A and B are shown apart, each in its own frame.
Chain A
Amino acid sequence: MIKITDLEVRIGDRVIAQVPSLEVRPGECVAIVGESGSGKTTTLMAVLDLLEGATVTGSIDAFGTDVVKHGAKDLRGSRIALVMQSPQGAFNPTMRLGVLLRKALAKHGVKGGEADRRAREAVRDVLLDESILRRYPHEVSGGQAQRFAIAVALALGAEVILADEPTSALDVTVQAEVVAVLRRLHDERGLAVLLVSHDLALVSAIADHVTVMKDGRVVESGPAAELFANPTSAYTRELIAAVPTLPEADHAEG
C-alpha cells in the first residue's frame, strides 16, 4: 500500500531524513523508532505530503500514486489517516463528536442513515460506547479522544493509519487499551499501521516490522521479533539497553 524508495528530505543543504526503502503491506504494523531529531516524524509527514519548506526526492508510492510527484491530497483523510499525539486540539471544540464525524463523512459524500450507521459502527470498532457521539471534545478523556480519532479514520475508510506517538501523552493503563484496539483492528480488519514512536517496548508489543532511525538515517531495519532479539547495530543495542525494566512478577504462594 505504501512503498518508500530512496527517500531524501532536505532543508537547504541539510539532510533531515534519508530512507532507502520502507514498505507497509496490507494488515501490517510497521514502526519507525528513534529519538528526537532522528527523522522519524519527517518520514511520516513526507508520506502525507505535509512537509513545508523541505525538498523531497525519491519516491513514495501510496496506493499507486507517487506522493513525491503528485501529492497526497486525495489520499489524506480517506485511505490514509493521521493520528497524532493529542487529537483533542484538532477537534472543533464547539461540535459534538457525532456532528463532527457526520460532517467528515458528508465531505466524502456519505450522508443520512448510511452516515449514522458508519459512525456507530466505527465507534463500536474502537470499543467506545455510542454515547460518546453526543459528547463535546472537552468531555472525553485523552484515551477516549485517541480512540475516537481512530474511529473517524475507520469511518472514512482508512486502510492505513499513520500514527505519530499516539499513546505517549496517555497513562500506561490507557495506553494499553489503545494498543488493544489497534491490535484488534489489525487482527480482525487487516488495518495497516505506520507507527512512529520513541518507545521501544511499545513498538515491540505491536509492530511486525521495525526501522530504527538516528540523526536522519536508517541504522537498522527488520522483522520486530528478530530485531529486538538480535539487534545488529550498536545504536539499537544502546536503545534497548536504555529502556528501564521492571522486575519479573512473582506469584509464588506464601
Chain B
Amino acid sequence: MLTLNHFLILGAVLFCIGLYGAIAKRSAIAVLMGIEIMLNAVNITLVAFSAFNQVKVSAPSVPYGNYSSYLTGQIFAIFIITVAAAEAAVALAMIISIYRKRNTVDVGEINMMKF
C-alpha cells in the first residue's frame, strides 16, 4: 500500500539529489538541472498532498465515492511548472551572457563579488 509518506520521502530524496547537483556541480547547466530537479521534487510533494488529503463532499460531480481531494496542491504545482520554465529560460540567458563575457560556464570562476 502506498501512503503519503512514500511520496514525501521520494520528494525529499529527489530534493536532496537536486540540491547536491546544484551545490556540487561545476557546470552552470548542471546547476540548472539540479534546480529543476529540486523544483520537480517539490511538485511531487505538493501533488501527493493533494492526492492523499481528501474531503467528504456530497455532490454528484465527484467520481469516487463522495470523496474529493484538495485541488490546491495541483494548482500550485502548475504554477511551479510555469515559473520553473520561465526561470530556466532566464537562467539560460544569463549563462549565455556570462559565457560571452568570460568564456566559461564554470560557476567556480564567477566570483567577482568576493572579498
A and B associate in one complex: no
